[in-house]
Each structure stands twice: as structure tokens, then as C-alpha cells.
């Protein structure tokens, strides 16, 4: 059986916490990691505050294979992610020569001033490796197991596409969904028994509510196809056995 | 000046971390809290795991005025929020008499069995107060400064509507947005100086990328209308002073 590969995410930005910007990166990262068999264990959204960023990154990098951050690597005064990551690793945060040249050339070719603000985007913790940014050039970076990426979704996604193929991926979790018109309350008891009898699976029950009715999606996940199929058979058989009067709303 | 009122949120559920369900509650809570002047300081998304829930709730309740949780209070085996909150407060988790009667009556009136699974929804930490649930009856609950609510967005929103009027609200943060067709790199330097000169404001700069062009939304927040207006004047004047060649893409 393959090693379990885990990940955590730190979303950095006051604009998410104020509700002004709705995050679109968490769901994308979750989908991408699940697709390659990496377990996303925790996400934290923190403000543009060095102490908060350092605490979250240090707590999560110690107990996960990978940590991914989004946000705070642009050119303005509230972009403090590079400094905060440097602080988390107790490394200096300097201009990176290669990033500096890349940006200098990029702006020169467009006849745009390479301002002090834009130069900030060349700063990163000493020893960091670049994550290429095909959209706006300013690179993200990696320090040990921490991948620092942009918050703008198009740029985050482009950077992540460069990162995913470099990751150690886990045994992929396979999943199968059994929709049921029954509400959770009608199936919770027997479903718990099925979970206990099928320890190699993770059985999730997701209540849905639409147009005044409750129904349930049951999702079985496993790293073993055989274990998954046995649990699915047990669930389908359980659903067929529920007395019809349970099918009422509630 | 009013006391600062802060909040944190714990989103509980494997389905969010796997990407299967996209969270719709974080943005809603953020909007609601901002509207009443409460600062949302941190959000954590954790899995259906007691130790993870206890750690997040205990870390956040100690340093915030309020903590709001969503998810994991339904009738199935993976709904472990009530037990986890009880554990976080070192209280027993028992059937709550009033919740039990509410649910018993609700199901009896619809001729639906009050199954052991459904009875689970009457369990809560000893001494918890109910948060009414007008949609599916099973209440959320409050223990000290922790508000435990459903994950299904319609139910979460209905519960939150009952909670918001009971909260101590902060001095409301007012905000004003200045859109700029300039990219962040063109304004980052002078904007940082304006932030330094206007300490009673929080100036955020949010890069936007659309159809190959970068532009910026500058948001000024303050508890003082006068301070906000002074910063806005300074920003508008700064934007007028940027030389036109900076308006290129980049």
C-alpha cells in the first residue's frame, strides 16, 4: 500500500475574510489534489498579518507532506507573504536575481517602469525555487514543502498546473456515489453499521435540501476497488430494505 | 471608540476538503459579520475528525469574541460535531430534553419513525442553548462563545439569521472602493505611502485580471468616516498623477 500523502492550504487575504472577494481557489485545489490521490487535511484562511501567516504555515508544514498558500505576493504594501514565509523559515527575504531579471526584462519590453513596487515581486526567501507564472511573469516560489502561489484564480491555476506534476502523489482514492431519495435520518443508523463493517472505506453522507425535500448523497471512498464495491453492495441492499413509509419528507 | 469584536469560523466536513462540495457558507458569514461590524479573523476547514475539530475550536474560541461552526450536526455516523464540541468544553454530550421532544413531535406529526439516527440530532453538550432551525427543526446550539450550526446552506443561513441579532456588534467598518485601470505594479509604491500616512484606515489593493489585462480595485476601510474620506482623496489625487505610459498592460 502506498504512503499517505497529505496537504494543507493557507489562503491569505483580508478581502476573503471581509466577504468582499469570494474564494475560488480552495475548491480548485481540493479537486486537483483529490484527482492525484493527495489528502487535503485542513485549510486556513488568515488575514494579511505576518504573525497569523507564520503561525498557520508553521503549524501546517510540520504535519503535512505539502502546504500550498495563495495570495499576498503582488506588488503592494499589503502583499506580505514573501516576508512572512521567510520569517516562518527563519531565512532572509532578498531580491532573487533571476526573478529580478525576468521582471526587469518583462517590463522593459513593454516600456513600463520597473517601479519599486514591481521590484517587490522579485523578493523571496533565500534559497527558494521558482514556480513559473506564464500569465504575469512574477514567479511564485517553493521553500521546502511550502508552495507559495498567487491569489488571482487564473494565475493560481496556471502556477498549480506547474506544481502538480512535481508532487509525490498518493494511492488514488476511488469513490462512488449512491444517491438516495431518503433523508439522512432514515438511513443514518444502518449506514453507521455498514461503515463499521467496512473499515477499508470512508463512507460520507451528505444531506441535500431542495424545494422543501431532503434527500441524501452517500459517497463511498476507498483506496481498494474491491472494498469499495463490497460497501456499495451493502448500501444498495440496505436502501432497498427501508420500509416505504420512511420515504416521506423529514 | 467601540470595542473590537472578532470572530472565527470552523467549517467541518470531509466533503469540502475533497472538493466534492464547494463551500457556500464562508462568504455568507463573512458578508453578514462585516455588515454588523464584526471582524472575521480566521477560518479553518477541518475534516470529520474529533481531534481536528477540538483543536480548531479551542484555539479559536480562546482568542475571538465568537466562533461559528458549520457542518456535522446531522443524523449520520460521520456527524460528530456535537461530541467534538462537548469534548472541547470537557462537558458530557447528552440527549437534550427539549430538542428530543421537538424532534419526537415533528416526526410523529409526519408519521415518520423517530429512528436512533434522528435521535442523534437531539444530542448536545450539557448546558447548551438552542439555535432554532425553522427548516428541518433539529436545532443548532451555543456553548459559551461557540455557535454550532448546520452545513446545508439554507439551514445555516436560517440559523445565522437567528444568531446575528443576539451578537454584540462592533463599530461598523465603513468602506469605499476606488477602481483603477492601472495594474497594481503602477500604484503599489505610492499606495503604501498613503497607507502609512493614514493609520486609521485599512487600505487593500486587489489585483484583477480579465481578458489579458490587469486592473486594480483599491478598497479603503475605516471605522471613521472622516479618516476614510481623507484617504480616498489622497488616493484619487495619486491616481491622477500617475504618468500615462504606466497605463499599459503589465
pLDDT tens string A64-98: 999 999 999 999 999 999 999 999 999 999 999 99
**Helix axes B184-197 and B225-241, enclosed angle (nearest 10):** 140
Residues A35 and A135 in one domain: yes
Please determine, for residue A249, whether its predicted confidence score (pLDDT) is greater than 60: no
Percent of chain A with pLDDT over 70: 96
Residues B216 and B162 in one domain: no
Cβ–Cβ below 8 Å for B189 and A246: no
Beta pairing, strands B66-70 & B201-210: unpaired
Mean confidence (pLDDT) of chain B: 92
Arithmetic mean of pLDDT, A198-208 = 88
Cβ–Cβ below 8 Å for A16 and B30: yes
Neighboring chain A residues of B245 at a CB cutoff of 8 Å: 111-113
Residues A158 and A179 in one domain: no
Residues B63 and B128 in one domain: yes
Please determine, for residue A210, whether its predicted confidence score (pLDDT) is greater than 60: yes
HSE (CB half, 13 Å, CA atoms) of A206? 21
Higher pLDDT, A202 or B33: B33
Residues A78 and A137 in one domain: yes
Tens-digit pLDDT profile for residues B84-104: 999 999 999 999 999 999 999
Q: In the beta sheet, which residues pair with residue A12?
A: A46
Neighboring chain A residues of B20 at a CB cutoff of 8 Å: 34, 175, 206, 219
Has residue B237 been placed in a domain?
A: yes
Please determine, for residue A217, whether its predicted confidence score (pLDDT) is greater than 70: yes
Has residue A127 been placed in a domain?
A: yes
Tens-digit pLDDT profile for residues A130-172: 999 999 899 999 999 999 999 999 999 999 999 998 999 877 7
Within an 8 Å CB–CB cutoff, is residue B157 touching chain A?
A: no
Percent of chain B with pLDDT over 70: 96
Residues B153 and B189 in one domain: no
Has residue B82 been placed in a domain?
A: yes
Tens-digit pLDDT profile for residues A30-40: 999 998 999 99
Q: Is B163 exposed, middle or buried (0-12, 13-18, 19+ CB in 10 A)?
A: middle
Has residue B1 been placed in a domain?
A: no
Neighboring chain A residues of B121 at a CB cutoff of 8 Å: 185
Best mutation site among B11, B13, B20 for testing chain A: the one with the most A CBs within 10 Å? Answer: B20
Domain that holds residue B216: 174-247
- Write down the pLDDT at residue B2: 55
- Write down the pLDDT at residue B249: 43
Has residue B157 been placed in a domain?
A: yes
Burial B103-130 (b: 16+ CB within 10 A, else e): beebbeeeebbbbebbbbbbbbbeebeb
Residue A247's pLDDT band (cuts 50, 70, 90): very low
Residues A202 and A162 in one domain: no
- Write down the pLDDT at residue B214: 83
- Write down the pLDDT at residue B173: 76
Arithmetic mean of pLDDT, A231-250 = 77
Within an 8 Å CB–CB cutoff, is residue B111 touching chain A?
A: yes
Tens-digit pLDDT profile for residues B169-199: 877 778 899 999 998 888 999 999 999 999 8
Residues A118 and A186 in one domain: no
- Write down the pLDDT at residue A153: 93
Has residue B23 been placed in a domain?
A: yes
Three-state SS at A143: strand
- A54 and A88 Cβ atoms separated by less than 8 Å: yes
Tens-digit pLDDT profile for residues B118-140: 999 999 999 999 999 998 899 99
- A46 and A14 Cβ atoms separated by less than 8 Å: no
Cβ–Cβ below 8 Å for B44 and A40: no
Has residue A1 been placed in a domain?
A: no
Distance CA A3, CA B62 (A): 35
Chain B residues 216-235 within an 8 A CB cutoff of chain A: 219, 221
Of the candidates B120, B139, B166, which is a domain's last residue? B166
- Write down the pLDDT at residue B132: 96
DSSP string spanning chain B? -PPP-EEEEEEE-HHHHTTSS---HHHHHHHHHHHTT-EEEEEEEE-S-HHHHHHHHHHHHHHSSEEEEES--SSSTT--HHHHHHHHTT--EEE-HHHHHHHHHHHHHTT----HHHHHTTEEETTPEEEEETTTEEEEEEETTEEEE-SSHHHHHHHHHHHGGGS---PPPEEEEEEESS-HHHHHHHHHHHHHH-TTEEEEEEEEEETTEEEEEEEEEES-HHHHHHHHHHHHHHHHHS-GGGGS--
- Give the CATH number, domain containing residue B231: 3.30.70.600
- Cα–Cα–Cα angle for A42, A44, A45, rounded to 5 degrees: 150
- Write down the pLDDT at residue A35: 87
- Write down the pLDDT at residue B202: 85
- B95 and B122 Cβ atoms separated by less than 8 Å: yes
Cβ–Cβ below 8 Å for B30 and A41: no
Min Cα distance B133 → chain A (Å) is: 13
Tens-digit pLDDT profile for residues B198-244: 988 989 888 887 777 888 999 998 889 999 999 999 999 999 988 75
Neighboring chain A residues of B112 at a CB cutoff of 8 Å: 185-186, 245-246, 248, 250
Please determine, for residue B250, whether its predicted confidence score (pLDDT) is greater than 50: no
- Give the CATH number, domain containing residue A130: 3.40.980.10
Arithmetic mean of pLDDT, B45-74 = 97
How many structural domains comprise chain A? 2
Please determine, for residue A107, whether its predicted confidence score (pLDDT) is greater than 90: yes
Residues A15 and A128 in one domain: yes
Residues B35 and B151 in one domain: yes
Has residue A162 been placed in a domain?
A: yes
Please determine, for residue B3, whether its predicted confidence score (pLDDT) is greater than 80: no
Of the candidates B136, B166, B196, which is a domain's last residue? B166
Residues B151 and B219 in one domain: no
- Write down the pLDDT at residue A162: 93
From the list B110, B185, B191, the residue facing A250 with the nearest CB is B110
Of the candidates B123, B145, B166, which is a domain's last residue? B166
Mean pLDDT comparison of A203-207, B141-145, B154-158, highest-scoring range: B141-145
- Cα–Cα–Cα angle for A103, A107, A111, rounded to 5 degrees: 165
Please determine, for residue A250, whether its predicted confidence score (pLDDT) is greater than 60: no
Within an 8 Å CB–CB cutoff, is residue B187 touching chain A?
A: yes
Within an 8 Å CB–CB cutoff, is residue B163 touching chain A?
A: no
Residues B239 and B223 in one domain: yes
Amino acid at each position: 500500500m502506498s504512503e499517505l500523502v497529505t496537504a494543507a492550504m493557507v489562503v491569505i487575504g483580508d478581502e476573503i475574510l471581509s466577504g468582499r472577494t469570494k474564494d475560488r481557489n480552495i475548491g480548485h485545489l481540493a479537486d486537483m489534489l483529490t484527482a492525484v490521490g493527495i489528502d487535503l487535511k485542513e485549510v486556513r484562511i488568515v488575514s494579511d498579518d505576518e504573525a497569523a501567516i507564520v503561525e498557520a504555515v508553521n503549524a501546517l508544514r510540520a504535519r503535512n507532506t505539502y502546504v500550498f498558500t495563495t495570495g499576498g505576493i503582488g506588488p503592494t504594501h499589503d502583499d506580505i507573504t514573501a516576508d512572512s514565509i521567510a520569517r516562518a523559515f527563519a531565512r532572509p527575504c532578498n531580491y532573487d536575481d533571476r526573478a529580478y531579471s525576468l521582471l526587469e526584462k518583462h517590463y522593459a519590453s513593454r516600456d513600463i517602469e520597473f517601479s519599486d513596487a514591481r521590484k517587490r515581486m522579485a523578493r523571496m526567501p533565500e534559497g527558494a525555487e521558482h514556480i513559473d507564472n506564464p500569465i504575469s511573469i512574477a514567479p511564485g516560489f517553493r521553500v521546502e514543502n511550502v508552495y507559495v502561489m498567487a491569489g488571482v484564480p487564473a494565475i493560481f491555476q496556471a502556477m498549480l498546473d506547474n506544481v502538480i506534476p512535481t508532487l509525490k502523489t498518493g494511492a488514488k482514492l476511488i469513490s462512488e456515489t449512491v444517491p438516495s431519495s431518503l433523508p439522512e435520518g432514515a438511513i443514518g443508523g444502518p449506514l453507521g453499521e455498514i461503515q463499521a463493517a467496512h473499515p477499508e472505506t470512508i463512507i460520507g453522507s451528505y444531506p441535500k435540501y431542495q424545494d422543501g425535500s431532503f434527500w441524501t448523497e452517500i459517497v463511498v471512498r476507498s483506496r481498494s476497488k474491491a472494498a469499495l464495491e463490497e460497501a456499495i453492495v451493502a448500501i444498495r441492499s440496505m436502501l432497498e430494505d427501508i420500509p416505504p413509509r420512511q420515504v416521506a419528507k423529514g
